[in-house]
């Protein structure tokens, strides 16, 4: 039973570029949440997808967007990258969108230079 | 917006000593969850508390949810080197959104 998988594991981008991160949820999970974790900080909620729609959103600008596919996998897109976007991006899946426990992937380490 | 604060930020203990981390929310929570993140790893779910005043135990770990559902604590008895990591609380209010605290980094000296 595969857990949450994220790709790529590491990524280096230049300011102003765009990036797409991918996530496959744990088998049996239909809800995907994305978090940004800066070094030494707690995960910050970006948004949550359920039934292919963004259901909740944190305090992140519109440069951050996402998508959920019919197979429940998800993408996080970030446009016009800033140095401050450098962080670990964590995808977490859960069941039926309620406050059920989150299962996190290993994350994508994004470095913006 | 909702804020979740954790103290202390760091805790250094000798192996065998006890450890406690505290979590406070600016708003009433529907539930609180605790996660552990090992260095270089990702957060791993430990437990969820839902009821006012709830207490749950997992071996040497004891979790409490305050009567007002705005605060929580995690207590570890007789720490071991395997307890090293960052402990996060995460408060749930609106449907599906969890707000994480900044975490408590625990180091255990053998």
Question: How many Å apart are CA B21 and CA A54, to the nearest integer?
Answer: 33
Asked if residue B96 lies in contact with residue B79, where contact means CB atoms within 8 angstroms, the answer is no
**Among A34-38, A49-53, B84-88, the least confident range:** A49-53
Distance of CA B31 to the CA centre of its chain: 13
Chain B residues within 8 A of A44 when measuring between CB atoms: 100
Tokens 């409490």 belong to B64
Whether residue A21 is predicted with pLDDT greater than 90 in this model: the reply is: yes
Read off the pLDDT of each residue in B1-28 and give the average, rounded to a whole number: 95
Under an 8 A CB cutoff, do B88 and A42 touch? yes
Q: Which residues contact A62 (CB under 8 A, 6 or more apart)?
A: none
Chain B residues within 8 A of A48 when measuring between CB atoms: 96-97
Asked if residue B43 lies in contact with residue A33, where contact means CB atoms within 8 angstroms, the answer is no
Instruction: Give the best residue of B42, B47, B97, B101 to mutate against chain A (max A CB count within 10 A).
Output: B42
Q: Which of A44, A45, A104 sits opposite B43 (nearest CB)?
A: A104
Percent of chain A with pLDDT over 70: 97
Residue A92's pLDDT is what? Answer: 96
Give the pLDDT band of residue B97 (cuts 50, 70, 90): confident
Chain B residues within 8 A of A46 when measuring between CB atoms: none
Instruction: Give the best residue of A49, A53, A101 to mutate against chain B (max B CB count within 10 A).
Output: A101
pLDDT digits (tens, 9 = 90+) for B21-67: 999 999 999 999 999 999 999 999 999 999 999 999 999 999 999 99
CB atoms near residue A91 (< 10 Å): 30
Query: Sign of the CA dihedral B22, B83, B9, A113?
Result: negative
Read off the pLDDT of each residue in A25-31 and give the average, rounded to a whole number: 94
């Amino acid at each position: 039973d595969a857990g949450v998988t994220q790709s790529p594991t590491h990524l280096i981008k230049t300011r102003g570029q765009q990036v797409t991160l991918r996530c496959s949820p744990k088998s049996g999970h239909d809800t995907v949440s994305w978090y940004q974790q800066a070094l030494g900080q707690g995960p910050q909620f970006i948004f949550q997808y359920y039934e292919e729609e963004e259901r909740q959103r944190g305090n992140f600008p519109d440069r951050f967007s996402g998508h959920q596919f019919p197979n429940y996998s998800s993408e996080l897109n970030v446009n016009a990258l800033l140095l401050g976007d450098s962080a670990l991006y964590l995808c977490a899946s859960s069941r039926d969108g309620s406050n059920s426990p989150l299962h996190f992937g290993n994350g994508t380490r994004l470095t913006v230079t | 917006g909702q804020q979740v604060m954790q103290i202390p930020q760091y805790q250094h203990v000798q192996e065998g000593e006890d450890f406690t981390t505290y979590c406070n929310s600016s708003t009433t929570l529907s539930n609180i969850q605790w996660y552990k993140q090992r260095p270089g790893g990702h957060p791993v779910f430990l437990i969820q508390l839902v009821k006012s005043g709830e207490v749950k135990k997992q071996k040497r770990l004891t979790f409490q949810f305050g009567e007002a559902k705005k605060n929580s604590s995690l207590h570890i008895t007789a720490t071991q080197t395997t307890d090293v990591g960052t402990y996060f609380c995460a408060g749930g209010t609106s449907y599906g959104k969890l707000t994480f605290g900044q975490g408590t980094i625990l180091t255990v000296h053998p």
